[in-house]
Chain A
Amino acid sequence: MKELFPAKQVMGFVFSLILTAIALLVYFLDLSFTAGLTILVVTAFVQALLQLVVFMHAGETKDKWAIYGNVYFMILIAMITIFGTLFLFVWDM
C-alpha cells in the first residue's frame, strides 16, 4: 500500500498551496514594502525548489550532481544579480 500512495507528491502539493497562500497574504495584509517583498522573494525561491525536487524529479537519477550543480550555479548568479542591483540602486545611489 505504501508504494502506491504518492505521499511525497501529496505533501509537496499541500506545501506548495500553503506557500501560494502566504504569498497571497501580502496583498491582503497591510505590510511594509520591504516586508512584503521579502516574503514574496523567499516564498518564490522555496516554491521553485519544491517544484524542481518534488514534481520535476531532480535528484532521482544518477546524474543528480549535474542537475544540482546547475541549480546551485543559477542560485549563485541570481543572488549576485539581486544583491548587485540593490547595491547599485539602493545602498549606493
Chain B
Amino acid sequence: MEFFERFAIPHPSPAIYASMVVIALTVIAIIAGLTYFKKWGYLWREWLTTVDHKRLGLMYIISAILMLFRGGVDAIMMRAQLATPDSKLLDAQHYNEIFTTHGVVMIMFMAMPFIFGFMNYIVPLQIGARDVAFPRLNAISFWLFFMGAMLFNISFVIGGSPDAGWTSYFPLAGTEFSESVGTNYYMIALQISGLGSLMTGINMITTILKMRAPGMTLMKMPMFTWSTLVANLIIVTVFPVLTVALAMGTMDRLFATNFFTSSNGGMDMLWANLFWVWGHPEVYILILPAFGLYSEIISTFSSKNLYGYTSMVASMVIISVLSCLVWAHHFFTMGQGAASNSFFSITTMAIAVPTGVKIFNWLFTMWKGKIRFTVPMLYSIGFIPLFTIGGVTGVMLAMSAADYQYHNTMFLVAHFHNTIIPGVVFAMLAGLTYYWPKMFGFMLNERIGKWTFWALSIGFVLAFFPMYITGLDGQARRMYTYSESTGFGPLNMLSFIGAGIMAIGFVLIVYNIYYSIRYAPRNIGSDPWDARTLEWATHTPVPEYNFAITPAVNSVEPFWDAKKKKHVLFPEPLKKIHMPNNSGMPFILSAIFFVWGFSFVFAIWPLVIIATLGIFACLASRSFENDHGRYISLEEVEETEEKLGGAKK
C-alpha cells in the first residue's frame, strides 16, 4: 500500500478529481474511436513512424495548440483567483502549482514546439530541400519533446504538480521546501524535451548550411530561414547549460548532493545563475523565429521586398551574441555589487538597439507599399506598437537601480507578457493563418480571423496593461491573494475581464478551424497570397518529396522572380527521387524515455535500470541497421506531378 501512496495527489481538490475523470474518459474515447474506425494501422504507418518534416511539423503545431489551451486554463484560473480581494477560490498551494505549470507549459510546451513546427514545415521548403539533414533524428526530437510534455502534464493527476515557479529557484525547489515529487517532474520532463530541442538545433543548422538549393548563398536565404539558423545556433549554445543545471538539480533532489543547497558548500544562487544563462537566450530563441515570420508576412502583404535585408541579418547575429551577455538582469537584487549590475544593465539596454533596427526595417518595408489587410498582416501590424511597448518597459527594467522597485512585481509580469504575446503568440497565429492553405489546402475564414485578432488584442491590453499600474503600486507577483485595503481590486478585475476576452479569442480560433473545414472553398491553387519565396512554388498539397525538380535560385525572392521576371525556377528534367525510410524506432525510443522519466520521478530504481538498458538497446540496434532509404521511381514522380498540375509552371 505504501508503494502506491506516493502516487496520490498531495493537495487534492474536486477540480483535480474531475480532471482525472475527464482525462480517463478522453483516453478511453480515443482508444475506442481508433479501434472502432480501424485507424491504428493508419496512425502507425502515416504518423507515428513518419520521418517527413512536414508531418512532424504539423504534429508539433497540433501539440502546441493543445498545450496553449492547457496553459490557458491555468491562466484563467489565476486571473479568476486574483479578480477580487481575499478570494477563496484557490488556496495558496493550488495557486503555486498553477502559476508554475502555466509558465512551464507556455514556454517549453507551447511556444517552443510552435516555432519548431514552423521551422520543420517551412525551412526545407524555403531552401528547396527534400527534407531536413537528419530526418530520423528529427522524428526522435519530436517524440522526445512529446513524451517530455506528456510526462509533465500527468504530474497534476499522479503525484502532484511542481510548485516552485517556472524558474524553480533553489533552495525553494530543494527537497527541504518542495517535498512532493512535483519538482522531480519539472527536472526530468524538461531534461527529456530539452534533449529533443538540442537535437533539433543541430539538425536545423546542418540542414540550412548544407542543403540549400543551388544558387542560394547565405545572403540569398529568406529571412525566416536566417532567423531559424540564428535561433538554432543559440539553442545549441545554451541548451547544454540547462541540461547540466537540471542534472545537478535532479541529483540534489534524488541523491542528496549539495550543488544548490544553502549549506554544506552548496550555492543556491548558482541555480538562478545557470537557469538564466539559458533562460535569457531562450526568450530570444522564441522571438527570433517570430521576427522571421513577421518579415515574410510583412513583405508579402506590402507587395514589396523586405527593407534592409543586410541589417536584418546583422541585427540577428548581433542579438545572438548579446543575448548571451545579459542574463544577470534577472537577478539584479541578489546581492552582487554595483560594478557587475552596471555592466549587465548596459548590455541589456544595448540589445534594444538591434531590436529597434528591425522594427524600423518593418516600418520601411510597409512604407509606400500596397498593403493588404489580411489576418496575418493585421497580427503583424498589431505586433509592432504593442511589442515596442514591451521593449520599452524592458529597458526600464534594465536599469538595475530602478529594478529594485520593479523586480518581482506585476510590472515585470506585464513586461514579459507584453513581449511574448504580441511578439511570439501573435506571430504563431499570423504564421498559422498564413501557412494554413499550404498545410491543408484551404484558407481560414478571414472575417472570423479578424474578430479573433481584435478579441486577442483588446483582451491583451485590458488584461496586461493594468498590471503595469498595480505593479508600480506594489502588487507582488506569485501572491495568491491580497487584502482589500491595498486597492488592487478594481484593476485586477479589469485584468480578469481582459483574460476572458482573450479566452473568447482562442475559442474563436477553434470555431474558425471548424467553420473553414466545412465551408471554405478548396480550389485556391498553390499560391493564394501571391507570395514571394520558394515554399509557395510547391504544389498544394505538398508532395512528400517537396520539389520534383531542385529549384534554381537567383535572388532572395526566386518565386517572385519566376512569376514576374521570367526567372526559370525548374531548369532540369524530372529524375527518380531518393527519400528516407519511415522508422518506428524514434517513437519506441521516446516511449522508453517516458517510462525512464516516470520511474526516475518516483525513484523506482529497478524500472530506471530496465528502461536505461532499453534506451541503449535502441541506440545499439541503430548502429547495426543498414538503411539506405528508398527511391521514388520516375514514373511515380511523373504521375504525382501530372495529378497536381505539372512539374514546370
Contacts and interface: CB of A to CB of B under 8 A. Distances in A.
A55 interface: no
A21 B542 CA distance: 56
A76 B320 CA distance: 12
Interface stretch (A4-12, A35-43, A79-87): A79-87
Given A81-B277, A92-B340, A63 B241 contact: no
A73 interface: yes
B190 interface: no
A85 B340 CA distance: 10
Contacts of B205: 70
B599 interface: no
A17 interface: no
Given A81-B324, A84-B327, A89-B273, A73 B209 contact: no
Nearest to B269: A89
Interface string B320-336: 01001101100000011
Nearest to B338: A92
B233 interface: yes
B573 interface: no
A13 to B, nearest CB: 21
Chain A contact residues, majority secondary structure: helix
B210 A63 contact: yes
Q: Sort chain A's interface into a size bin.
A: 10 to 19
Nearest to B327: A84
Given A66-B209, A73-B233, A89 B336 contact: yes
Contacts of A74: 236-237
Nearest to B343: A87
Given A66-B209, A74-B236, A89-B273, A80 B324 contact: yes
A70 B335 CA distance: 35
Interface string A32-76: 000000000000000000000000000000010010001001101
B237 A73 contact: yes
A87 to B, nearest CB: 5
Nearest to B210: A63
Contacts, number: 47
B241 A92 contact: no
A93 B337 contact: yes
A35 to B, nearest CB: 18
B337 A92 contact: yes
A88 interface: yes
Given A84-B328, A85-B273, A92 B336 contact: yes
Contacts of A88: 273, 328, 336, 340
Contacts of A31: none
Interface residues of B, number: 24
A34 to B, nearest CB: 16
B308 to A, nearest CB: 24
B241 A81 contact: yes
Nearest to B278: A81
A77 interface: yes
A66 B238 CA distance: 18
Contact of A84 (B321, B325, B335): B325
Contacts of B236: 70, 74
A89 B335 CA distance: 9
A77 B241 CA distance: 11
Given A70-B233, A87-B343, A89-B267, A80 B209 contact: no
Contacts of B238: 77
Nearest to B206: A66
A66 B229 CA distance: 12
B30 interface: no
B339 interface: yes
Contacts of B237: 73-74, 77
Given A73-B233, A80-B325, A87 B340 contact: yes
Contacts of B209: 63, 66
Nearest to B208: A66
Nearest to B324: A77
A93 B233 contact: no
19 contacts: A63-B209, A70-B205, A70-B233, A74-B236, A77-B238, A77-B321, A77-B324, A80-B324, A81-B241, A81-B277, A81-B324, A85-B273, A88-B340, A89-B267, A89-B270, A89-B273, A93-B335, A93-B336, A93-B337
Interface of B: 205, 209-210, 233, 236-238, 241, 267, 269-270, 273, 277, 321, 324-325, 327-328, 335-337, 339-340, 343
Q: Which 4 A-B pairs have the closest CB atoms?
A: A92-B337, A92-B340, A77-B324, A88-B336
Given A70-B233, A87-B340, 19 more contacts: A63-B209, A63-B210, A73-B237, A74-B237, A77-B238, A80-B324, A80-B325, A81-B241, A84-B328, A85-B270, A85-B273, A85-B277, A88-B328, A88-B336, A89-B267, A91-B340, A92-B336, A92-B337, A93-B336
